C-alpha cells in the first residue's frame, strides 16, 4: 500500500465536490467546546460539518470531518474551504483573514474586519466609544509612562488589559497603586502597549446574545446575570434580577453594537449595571459565548442553532425562554493530567442537571471542561441546584 504524506491525504479529503449534496456544509475554524456545540446543532439539522484546528482537538473528534493543519498556510486553508458553503470561526483569534483571501465566493462570517476590530481590546474600546455606546473611562497606553498618567487620570483601582489574546481572565490585572504598575506593565504590555480602564463599582455583570443574518434580520436573547470568580465566568442565571427598564436598555445596547459592527452570526455583549442605574458596555465576543450556553435547554432556539442559521442566512429561531428560569455553572479542571474514564463515569452519577462534557482529554486547574444547566421555577432555585450538581463533578 503506497504511503501518502499527511498533506496529500488532507488535500484528497478536502477537495470532495459537495455541490450535489442536498444539505449545505459549514466549515468551522476551531475545535474547542464552541466548535463542538455549534457542530452538534448543525448535525441535528442535517447540515454537514468540517472543522479545522492547528492540532488535533478532542472536542470535535467524531463530529463531521475534524481536520488539523497549519491554518495560517493559504494552501491548507484553500483545501479546507473547498466544498464548504460558508465558513465561520469558533473564536475571534481564528485566521478568518486567511480564509477570506482564499475562499473566493464562499462567505466567511463573521468578517475578518469585524474580528480585527474586536480581537484588539484597544481598537474595540475606541470603536464602541465612537459608536456612542457607553463605557468606562479608558486610555490606550503605548508606554509605561502613559500608563502611569492614565492611572492618575482614571484613579485607582484601575484595570490593565492586554490588547490581544485576553480570555477567561487571562490578560487582565487589577492595579491598586503606583507600586503595581511596573509588574502589570511587564506582564501584559504588547509591543503597542495596553489598555487602562477605570474600575467600575458595578452592582452586577450582565450579558446579552444577539444573532444576526447577512440579510439584516436579528433576534435578541434574554438578559442574563453573570457571576465571575477569579476573573472567570462561574455561573449564568436567567432571567437577570435587573428591572425591566435595565434589561430593555441592555438589549438595545447589544443590538446597537451588533449593527455597528455589521455582525453576522452570534455576538455576546458583556455589560455592567452600575449603582446609579446606568448600563456600560464592557466587552464583545463575535461568536457563541459562555453566557449563552443556558439556551440549549432553556430557550426555544439555542445560541448554537441560531449561529448556524444566521451564517447560512436562514430564518432565525425564537430565542425566548421556554422555562421560567435557568442557571448554568461551569465545570473547571481541578488538577493537571489526563481525564480518566472513572472520573467521567462518576460525573454522570449527577442526575438532576443537564451535563455537558466537552471532550477535552487533558485537564488542568481552572480549564473549562464542561458545564451544567438546571431549569426551575425560580432563578435562585436553579442556581442552588446547578452549583450543587457542578460541585459533584470532578475532572
pLDDT in tens, 35-55: 999 999 999 999 999 999 999
CATH superfamily membership of 202-391: ATP-grasp fold, B domain (3.30.470.20)
Relative orientation angle of helices 112-119 and 121-130, to the nearest 10 degrees: 100
Asked if residue 168 has pLDDT above 70, the reply is no
Percent of the chain with pLDDT over 90: 86
Q: To 5 degrees, how large is the angle CA 236–CA 199–CA 189?
A: 100
Confidence of residue 348 (pLDDT cuts 50, 70, 90): confident
**Which class for 118: exposed (0-12), middle (13-18), buried (19 or more C-beta within 10 A)?**
buried
What average pLDDT does this structure show over 264-272?
98
Asked if residue 141 has pLDDT above 50, the reply is yes
Return the pLDDT at 21: 65
Return the pLDDT at 302: 98
Percent of the chain with pLDDT over 70: 94
Return the pLDDT at 9: 34
Query: Distance (Å, rounded) from C-alpha 359 to C-alpha 198?
Result: 38
What average pLDDT does this structure show over 154-173?
87
**Which class for 374: exposed (0-12), middle (13-18), buried (19 or more C-beta within 10 A)?**
buried
Query: Distance (Å, rounded) from C-alpha 181 to C-alpha 352?
Result: 46
* Mean residue pLDDT across the chain: 92
Strands lying side by side in the sheet with 86-89: 65-68, 48-53, 25-29, 86-89, 108-109
**Which class for 328: exposed (0-12), middle (13-18), buried (19 or more C-beta within 10 A)?**
buried
Relative orientation angle of helices 96-103 and 112-119, to the nearest 10 degrees: 170
> By three-state DSSP, how is residue 277 classified?
coil
Q: Which residues, 6 or more positions from 341, have their beta carbon under 8 angstroms from its beta carbon?
A: none
Domain positions in the chain: 6-109, 137-198, 202-391
CATH number for the region 137-198 comes to 3.30.1490.20
Return the pLDDT at 70: 96
Q: What's the grid cell of residue 90?
A: 469558533
What's this model's pTM, rounded to 2 decimal places?
0.91
Q: Which residues, 6 or more positions from 380, have their beta carbon under 8 angstroms from its beta carbon?
A: none
What average pLDDT does this structure show over 257-283?
96
Domains 6-109 and 137-198 share a fold: no
Helix (H) or strand (E) holding 115: helix 112-119
Return the pLDDT at 4: 36
- Kindly give the pairing relationship between strand 354-357 and strand 325-332: unpaired
| pLDDT tens for each residue of 185-240 | 999 999 999 999 999 999 999 999 999 999 999 999 999 999 998 878 999 999 99
Helix (H) or strand (E) holding 162: strand 158-162
Query: Distance (Å, rounded) from C-alpha 318 to C-alpha 301?
Result: 6
Confidence of residue 27 (pLDDT cuts 50, 70, 90): very high
Return the pLDDT at 16: 43
Does domain 6-109 match CATH 3.40.50.20? Answer: yes
Confidence of residue 20 (pLDDT cuts 50, 70, 90): low
What average pLDDT does this structure show over 170-198?
95
Q: Which residues, 6 or more positions from 325, have their beta carbon under 8 angstroms from its beta carbon?
A: 237, 238, 239, 375, 376, 377, 378, 379, 381, 382
Asked if residue 11 has pLDDT above 60, the reply is no
Amino acid at each position: 500500500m503506497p504511503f501518502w504524506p499527511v498533506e496529500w491525504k488532507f488535500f484528497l479529503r478536502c477537495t470532495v465536490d459537495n455541490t450535489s449534496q442536498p444539505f449545505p456544509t459549514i466549515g468551522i475554524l476551531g475545535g474547542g467546546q464552541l466548535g463542538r456545540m455549534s457542530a452538534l446543532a448543525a448535525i441535528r439539522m442535517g447540515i454537514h460539518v468540517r472543522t479545522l484546528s492547528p492540532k488535533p482537538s478532542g472536542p470535535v473528534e467524531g463530529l463531521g470531518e475534524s481536520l488539523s493543519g497549519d491554518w495560517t498556510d493559504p494552501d491548507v486553508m484553500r483545501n479546507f474551504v473547498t466544498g464548504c458553503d460558508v465558513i465561520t470561526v469558533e473564536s475571534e483569534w481564528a485566521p478568518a483573514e486567511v480564509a477570506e483571501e482564499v475562499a473566493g465566493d464562499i462567505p466567511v462570517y463573521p468578517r475578518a474586519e469585524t474580528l480585527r476590530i474586536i480581537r484588539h481590546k484597544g481598537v474595540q474600546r475606541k470603536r464602541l466609544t465612537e459608536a456612542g455606546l457607553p463605557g468606562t473611562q479608558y486610555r490606550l497606553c503605548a508606554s509605561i509612562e502613559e500608563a502611569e498618567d492614565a492611572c492618575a487620570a482614571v484613579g485607582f483601582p484601575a484595570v490593565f488589559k492586554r490588547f490581544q489574546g485576553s480570555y477567561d481572565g487571562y490578560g487582565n490585572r487589577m492595579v491598586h497603586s503606583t507600586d503595581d504598575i511596573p509588574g502589570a506593565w511587564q506582564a501584559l504590555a504588547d509591543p503597542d502597549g495596553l489598555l487602562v480602564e477605570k474600575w467600575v463599582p458595578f452592582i452586577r455583570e450582565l450579558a446579552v446574545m444577539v444573532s444576526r443574518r447577512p440579510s439584516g434580520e436579528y433576534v435578541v436573547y434574554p438578559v442574563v446575570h453573570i457571576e465571575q470568580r477569579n476573573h472567570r465566568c462561574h455561573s449564568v442565571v436567567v432571567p437577570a434580577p435587573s428591572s425591566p427598564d435595565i434589561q430593555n436598555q441592555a438589549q438595545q445596547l447589544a443590538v446597537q453594537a451588533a449593527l455597528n459592527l455589521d455582525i453576522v452570526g452570534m455576538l455576546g455583549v458583556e455589560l455592567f449595571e452600575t449603582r446609579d442605574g446606568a448600563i456600560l458596555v464592557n466587552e464583545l465576543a463575535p461568536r457563541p459565548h459562555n453566557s449563552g450556553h443556558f439556551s440549549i435547554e432553556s430557550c426555544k432556539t439555542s445560541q448554537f442553532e441560531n449561529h448556524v442559521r444566521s451564517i447560512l442566512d436562514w430564518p432565525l429561531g425564537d430565542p425566548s425562554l421556554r422555562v421560567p428560569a435557568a442557571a448554568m455553572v461551569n465545570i473547571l479542571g481541578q488538577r493537571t493530567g489526563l481525564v480518566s474514564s472513572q472520573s467521567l463515569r462518576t460525573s454522570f452519577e449527577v442526575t438532576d442537571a443537564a451535563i455537558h462534557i466537552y471532550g477535552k482529554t487533558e485537564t488542568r486547574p481552572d480549564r473549562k471542561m464542561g458545564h451544567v444547566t438546571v431549569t426551575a421555577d425560580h432563578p435562585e432555585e436553579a442556581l442552588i441546584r446547578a452549583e450543587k450538581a457542578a460541585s459533584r463533578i470532578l475532572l
